[in-house]
């Protein structure tokens, strides 16, 4: 009897596929997408069947050990997408397939049963008393706020624990107090319903109606159509999503919505839940393994037809996919930066193309790559140029912080002198090397033994001498509070102080593992590295010269303390990763602010996206320059996007809002054009720079990064790879260009030295041959040097 041979993608970081022999008793496992257990080396590994092996049998064949599950975990279209992604992003297919599954299905064990505690048919809702109560405890309040956004019919218990992990004990207390009820239902509703407790959908604006005509036509025709929905903040993009999805579901199709991790709040989920009831399945990083598996199964079995999730939800098993939506398509969290380095936004376009359905990319500040695709006709541009009900855009005013220079120079003359020297050095370098700000590597500071990062800019100098809150912003806050309204203050830095310097010898306190400074977290009383987690007490004196340690820079903790001092009667809430590390903490703080229980919300980018607070009339940006001068060609674009997004939180109710932006660079295009909400002007200026220096969207990029135990070993490996790549480029005759190798701007991370090189090419296909050469050289490197390839890199740091 002829041997039955199959090709298997093994879930390990190795190239494949591999050939295995399928025993007769496992003959039914010859289905592409089936999960298997196979011997690999001296151990067993999870593998995935790719189909029969057609070629001659190799020597040393081994048998498949077991077939898991009751059938394939990937249908043919999803398997095609994953195969394409593995090839395009240069990553082993077996690991790609593992990454597309819930963690509970990524090993060699049979699929666990859905935990009984999730209750497939259990539902939960507030009682009448619960809707008017104010329970104690943040978790109980988070549950109350989440259920209050749903219809009186309640929500599946599985959805509640998916949205609010660790909520079971708090829910039990609410039930004991008579504030919630839990009951059994026969099954989840199979059709879309708008619960009686949900608000009626608003009437579309003319701009929304025009966009809906085009999107819904593509849904009905079952044809691929990529749309860029470019709408200003508050223009009603979410309502366009909802109505487009509603049309798809009414035709018996499924839908997939991707949102940035930071925007997946109960406020957003509540809108989808109120419109579509139990059809919604949530997929995000806050889920436990069992909860994520339960949601995944609901989609795979067709009991939920709308997946709402973050980056990894692009692989959700949505049945009969009819539309894909990517909200805030410009957001960097859609790009996976480690391991399988994929872009969920770009894969959303590929998946829609393969399935023959429309994809909607929405943003108030589209990425320049997406905008360029719309301008050259690859995408259809749909504009929402006005806010709903013709509400005005907030007035934006810049405050020039350079007026504080006198205070800085008087207090710290040696630091002010160093600032002037650094500025002159930068001007001379720019004159000698045009476009130097686009270089991969930063300056000599990356390798200086006694300095962990460049000497402080004006933004990092003592804030006690230049107030955190300018007089203009302080007056605006006072006026807002007097009117009984709310304010949001934005600073994209956690902690208290961010740079600690000996005033005698100039030594900076840096992380011993990473080329960054340590941040003081006042409540903990310790210095913390935000990259590797290194913790150490803040010394009172310098260890080298016994000089005094000066605390410089500012973070959200320091801002919170100063606001409490300047506005003692204001109720201040801080929102960052320190205060809202759990989903229920984030939910409670946002809900408390939405209820008007807090007057001022100070936070990092958590406050910038996805929130709709009608009571917010003022937004203050404390330091607009933080990311503007990073050695990355996208620095200006990211700055403009973030400033525009946070400014859009103001004036979303009936009253007009205003925005005050404090900056040391008021002339910079990324800052100045925020004043007039001038995205088009910024885009034109930035695109002209990109075109001149040949950066995306006018080329494609491939980043090759090496990390090793020390600088000599890593540098030698990088130079050897670059030499081979450079020779291949010269011989190819293609319009390719190699930049580097050079130390990465973040030259040391978690104890390993990092070097990198960048390859530019006119198309993705033009980079493929170079990627193969780099992969060949990777196999020749020493075992203590690692090499990664990043196709279409988002960050060059």
Q: What is the pLDDT of residues 384-432, one digit of tens each?
A: 999 998 899 999 999 999 886 543 333 333 334 433 444 334 344 434 3
Q: State how far the alpha carbon of 555 is from the alpha carbons of 323, 478, 509, 604, in Å.
A: 41, 22, 17, 9
pLDDT of 194? 29
Q: Are 679 and 365 in contact (CB under 8 A)?
A: yes
Instruction: Give the closest residue to 567 by CA, choosing from 612, 620, 507.
Output: 620
Q: Which residues contact 98 (CB under 8 A, 6 or more apart)?
A: 11, 46, 106
Q: State the distance between the two ends of the chain, measured CA to CA, in whole angstroms.
A: 58
> Strands across the sheet with 306-309, in order?
280-283, 306-309, 254-258, 321-327, 358-363, 225-231, 380-384
Name the percent of the chain lying above pLDDT 90.
Answer: 63
Burial 76-105 (b: 16+ CB within 10 A, else e): eebbbbbbebbebbbbbbbbbbbbbbbebb
Q: Residues 757-781: pLDDT tens digits?
A: 999 999 999 999 999 999 999 999 9
pLDDT of 265? 61
Residues 621-625, mean pLDDT to the nearest whole number: 94
Q: Are 558 and 623 in contact (CB under 8 A)?
A: no
Q: Which residues contact 628 (CB under 8 A, 6 or more apart)?
A: 635, 636, 639, 665, 668, 670, 671
Q: Are 608 and 490 in contact (CB under 8 A)?
A: yes
Whether 723 shows a pLDDT value over 70: the answer reads yes
Q: Which residues contact 429 (CB under 8 A, 6 or more apart)?
A: 436
pLDDT band of 185, cuts 50, 70, 90? low
CA–CA distance, 436 with 44 (Å, rounded to integer) = 51
Q: Residues 509-536: pLDDT tens digits?
A: 999 999 999 999 977 779 999 999 999 9
Whether 318 shows a pLDDT value over 90: the answer reads yes
Average pLDDT of the chain is 86
pLDDT of 198? 46
Rounded to an integer, what is the distance from CA 735 to the centroid of its chain? Answer: 33
pLDDT of 431? 40
Counting every residue written for the chain, the total comes to: 797
More confident residue, 353 or 3: 353
pLDDT of 735? 87
Q: Which of 141-150, 348-357, 546-555, 691-700 shows the lowest mean pLDDT across its residues?
A: 141-150
Q: Residues 683-706: pLDDT tens digits?
A: 999 999 999 999 999 999 999 999
pLDDT band of 2, cuts 50, 70, 90? low
pLDDT of 266? 63
CB atoms within 10 A of CB 13: 11
pLDDT of 233? 93
Instruction: Give the closest residue to 495 by CA, choosing from 521, 516, 472, 474.
Output: 521
CA–CA distance, 520 with 535 (Å, rounded to integer) = 10
CA–CA distance, 742 with 694 (Å, rounded to integer) = 19
- Sign for the pseudo-dihedral over CA of 706, 707, 711, 712: negative
Residues 439-464, mean pLDDT to the nearest whole number: 34
Q: Angle at which helices 138-148 and 168-176 pack, to 10 degrees?
A: 80
Q: Are 394 and 647 in contact (CB under 8 A)?
A: yes
pLDDT of 150? 63
pLDDT band of 175, cuts 50, 70, 90? very high
């Amino acid at each position: 009897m002829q041997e039955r041979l199959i090709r298997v993608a093994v879930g390990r970081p190795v190239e494949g596929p591999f050939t295995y022999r399928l025993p007769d008793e496992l003959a039914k496992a010859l289905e592409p997408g089936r999960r298997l257990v196979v011997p690999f080396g001296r151990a067993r590994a999870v593998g995935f069947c790719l189909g029969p092996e057609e070629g001659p049998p190799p020597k040393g064949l081994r048998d498949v050990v077991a077939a898991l599950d009751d059938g394939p975990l990937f249908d043919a279209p999803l398997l095609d997408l994953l195969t394409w992604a593995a090839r395009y992003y240069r990553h082993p297919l077996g690991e790609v397939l593992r990454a597309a599954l819930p963690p509970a299905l990524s090993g060699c064990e049979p699929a666990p049963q859905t935990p009984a505690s999730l209750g497939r048919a259990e539902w939960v809702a507030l009682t009448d008393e619960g809707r008017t109560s104010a329970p104690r405890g943040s978790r109980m309040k988070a549950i109350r706020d989440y259920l209050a956004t749903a219809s009186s019919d309640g929500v599946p218990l599985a959805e509640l624990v998916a949205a609010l992990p660790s909520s079971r004990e708090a829910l039990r207390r609410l039930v004991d107090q008579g504030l919630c009820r839990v009951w059994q239902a026969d099954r989840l509703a199979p059709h879309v319903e708008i619960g009686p407790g949900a608000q009626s959908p608003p009437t579309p604006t003319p701009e929304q109606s025009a966009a809906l005509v085009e999107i819904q036509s593509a849904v009905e025709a079952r044809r691929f159509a990529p749309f860029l929905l470019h709408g200003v903040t508050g223009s009603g993009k979410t309502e366009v999503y909802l109505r487009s999805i509603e049309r798809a579901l009414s035709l018996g199709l499924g839908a997939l919505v991707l949102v940035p991790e930071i925007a997946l709040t109960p406020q957003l989920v509540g809108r989808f839940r109120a419109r579509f009831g139990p059809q919604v399945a949530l997929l995000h990083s806050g889920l436990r393994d069992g909860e994520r598996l339960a949601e995944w199964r609901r989609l795979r079995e067709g009991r939920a037809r709308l997946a709402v999730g973050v980056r990894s939800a692009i692989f959700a098993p949505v049945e009969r996919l009819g539309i894909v939506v990517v909200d805030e398509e410009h957001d960097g969290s859609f790009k996976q930066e480690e391991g399988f380095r994929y872009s969920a936004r770009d894969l959303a376009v590929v998946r829609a193309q393969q399935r023959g359905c429309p994809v909607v990319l929405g943003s108030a500040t589209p990425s320049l790559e997406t905008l360029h695709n719309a301008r050259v006709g690859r995408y259809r541009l749909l504009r929402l140029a006005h806010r709903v009900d013709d509400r005005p855009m907030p007035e934006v005013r810049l405050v020039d912080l350079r007026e504080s220079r006198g205070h800085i120079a008087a207090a710290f003359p040696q630091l002010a002198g160093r600032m002037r020297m650094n500025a002159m050095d930068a001007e001379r370098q720019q004159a000698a090397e045009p476009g130097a700000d686009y270089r991969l590597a930063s300056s000599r500071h990356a390798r200086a033994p006694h300095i962990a990062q460049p000497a402080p800019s004006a933004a990092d100098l003592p804030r006690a001498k230049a107030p955190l809150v300018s007089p203009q912003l302080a007056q605006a806050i006072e006026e807002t509070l007097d009117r009984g309204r709310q304010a949001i203050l934005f600073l994209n830095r956690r902690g208290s102080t961010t740079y600690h310097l000996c005033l005698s010898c100039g030594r900076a306190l840096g992380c011993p593992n990473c080329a960054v400074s340590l941040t003081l977290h006042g409540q903990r009383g310790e210095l913390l590295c935000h990259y590797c987690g290194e913790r150490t007490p803040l010394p009172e004196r310098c260890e080298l010269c016994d000089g005094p340690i000066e605390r410089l820079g500012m973070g959200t903790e320091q801002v919170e303390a100063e606001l409490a001092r300047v506005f003692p009667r204001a109720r201040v809430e801080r929102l960052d990763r320190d205060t809202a590390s759990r989903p229920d903490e984030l939910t409670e703080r946002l809900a408390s602010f939405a209820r008007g229980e807090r007057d001022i919300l100070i936070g990092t980018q958590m406050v910038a996206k996805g929130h709709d607070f009608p009571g917010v009339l003022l937004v203050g940006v404390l330091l607009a320059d933080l990311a503007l001068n990073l050695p990355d060609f996208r620095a200006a674009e990211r700055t403009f996007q973030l400033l525009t997004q946070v400014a859009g939180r103001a004036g979303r109710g009936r009253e007009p809002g205003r925005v005050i932006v404090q900056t040391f660079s008021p002339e910079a295009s990324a800052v100045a054009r925020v004043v007039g909400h001038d995205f088009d002007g910024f885009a034109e200026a930035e695109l002209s720079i990109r075109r001149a220096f040949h950066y995306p969207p006018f080329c494609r990029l491939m980043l090759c990064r090496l990390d090793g135990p020390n600088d000599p070993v890593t540098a030698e490996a990088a130079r050897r790879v670059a030499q081979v790549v450079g020779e291949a480029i010269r011989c190819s005759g293609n319009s390719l260009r190699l930049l580097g190798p050079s130390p990465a701007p973040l030259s040391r991370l978690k104890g390993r030295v990092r070097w990198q090189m960048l390859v530019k090419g006119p198309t993705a296909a033009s980079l493929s041959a170079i990627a193969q050469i780099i992969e060949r050289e990777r196999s020749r490197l020493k075992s203590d040097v690692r090499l990664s390839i990043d196709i279409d890199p988002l960050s060059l740091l």
